[in-house]
Amino acid sequence: MSLSEKFAEWKGIPREEIDWNPTIDKDKCVGCGMCVSSCGRDVFDYDPDEEKAVVAKPLQCMVGCTSCETWCIYEAISFPDPEYVKELMKEEKVLSDIDKENLS
Ligand code: SF4
Ligand code: SF4
């Protein structure tokens, strides 16, 4: 999959080096399509043959977002432990360039 420039990096880190994307449990997915229609980053496709969602563009998932996991009332979507993202942020000091003057 070719990754557009828009999604190529997260906080200066190459996106393909970050292990963050949804995983679908096919046994639990009923194909309701909620995740497909709700994700603003077009991460999911719908497989009409299997009548299930598929993770088509995993690297377009916003790092740290778990919205689709919440939306899936069938609990078919899972993510890595969010602590992974927190540790990554600490290691890479991704917040150190925040302009604190403009936070208020
Ligand atoms: S929201 Fe859940 S059950 Fe519905 S299509 Fe997506 S993964 Fe499947
Ligand atoms: S976590 Fe957010 S960005 Fe990632 S696939 Fe789910 S809804 Fe889309």
pLDDT exceeds 80 at position 66? yes
Show the beta-strand stretches assigned E in 7-64: 9-10, 13-14, 23-24, 44-47, 52-55
The preferred substitution site among 10, 18, 68, 79 for testing ligand 2, maximizing ligand atoms within 8 Å of CB, is 68
pLDDT reported for residue 104: 65
CB of 64 within 8 A of CB of 85?
Answer: yes
Report the alpha-carbon distance of residue 8 to residue 26 in Å, rounded. Answer: 28
Checking DSSP bridges between strand 52-55 and strand 44-47, what pairing results, if any?
Answer: antiparallel
Which pTM value belongs to this model? 0.89
Closest residue by Cα to atom 4, ligand 2, is 61
Domain boundary assignment for the chain: 21-94
- Please name the residue whose Cα sits nearest to atom 4 of ligand 1: 32
CATH architecture of 21-94: 2-Layer Sandwich (3.30)
Q: Which ligand is nearest to the CA of 77?
A: 1
Q: How far is the CA of 60 from the centre of ligand 1 (A)?
A: 18
Query: For 15-54, how does the pLDDT look when each residue is reduced to its tens digit (9 = 90+)?
Result: 999 999 999 999 999 999 999 999 999 999 999 999 999 9
Cα(80) to ligand 1 centroid in Å equals 18
CA distances from 104 to 55, 76, 98 (A): 38, 39, 12
pLDDT at residue 41, as a whole number: 97
